Chains A and B, each alone.
Chain A
Amino acid sequence: MIINWESFTPIASLGGGILIGIAALILMITSGRVMGVSGILSGLFSADDTKLWRLAFLGGTLIGPLLIVTITGTPIASELVSDGWLLYGAAFLVGIGTALGSGCTSGHGICGLARFSGRSLAAVITFMTMAVFTVYIIRHSGLGG
């Protein structure tokens, strides 16, 4: 295994991760809800009275990074790695997959693992394995171009 020390950002990533954990705790202690973005988003499709907290959370997620950019004055790196039908096919897979699988990186990854949920552990192992496999195919097999 070769480590990319140039790209490695241990302090920023650990700090960001701790903030994400704190965000999950705030939502649980105040609203009693799991901080899973796919679940919060797809819950908007149901006709119940949970829209307010869902929209408030999602609004915060939209605005938070904008605040950071405004305060620090430095843009946040974000470089796409695919385009065209592959990118938009991937978007559909992300949507349908997280709905069927009842969660994504935040709900299963951050919250589920912290609750020692067996379902979340199974989900995380599954999506991590498939994602690593997919990146291997794209970058190293010659099939991804």
Chain B
Amino acid sequence: MALISGLVFGVGLAISGMLDPSKISGFLDIFGVWDPSLALVMAGGVAVNAVGHRFVMRQSAPVFAPRFSLPSLTSIDRPLLLGSALFGIGWGISGLCPGPVLANLLLIPEKMVLFAAIVCVGLWVGRAIKQGLEKSQVD
């Protein structure tokens, strides 16, 4: 079923225009000639998910897993803000976030393979830093 979810996600990204960095850039360019399309991607996704999520949470457990795995942190801390700021800069420069990078991978591999590989290196480094920070807080 995770495969089905991934398929629907990939199709949704492809239809929505999220696979086109120039369209993302046009959406982020609110001081230029602004293309508001991607605000509707987010509005549609959040609206459907917000309504559906309330129904899903009334179930005692997911269908194929023992429990729901939801994020437990609630504090707005420095790694969250610093990480999101760095991501925003990278997204602004490239017009690419992780989902569309993967969804583009088989369509335009010549443009996407190296980018995807570097994203993975960055994920690995960021994950190591975050785990280091969490460990130092516990010690």
Contact = CB atoms under 8 A, between A and B. Distances in A.
Given A26-B1, A64-B8, A68-B14, A126 B84 contact: yes
A131 B44 contact: no
A50 to B, nearest CB: 9
Interface residues of B, number: 112
Interface string A19-51: 111111111111111110110011001000000
State the majority secondary structure of interface residues on B.
Answer: helix
Given A28-B56, A114-B53, A57 B45 contact: no
B138 interface: no
A143 to B, nearest CB: 12
Interface residues of A, number: 111
A12 B17 contact: yes
B61 to A, nearest CB: 7
Interface in A65-92: 65-69, 75-82, 86-92
Interface string B3-21: 1111111111111111111
Interface of B: 1-26, 28-38, 40-50, 52-53, 56, 59, 61-71, 73-76, 79-99, 101-108, 111, 114-116, 118-127, 129-130
Interface of A: 1-4, 7-10, 12-35, 37-38, 41-42, 45, 52-54, 56-69, 75-82, 86-102, 104-106, 108-119, 122-124, 126-136, 138-140
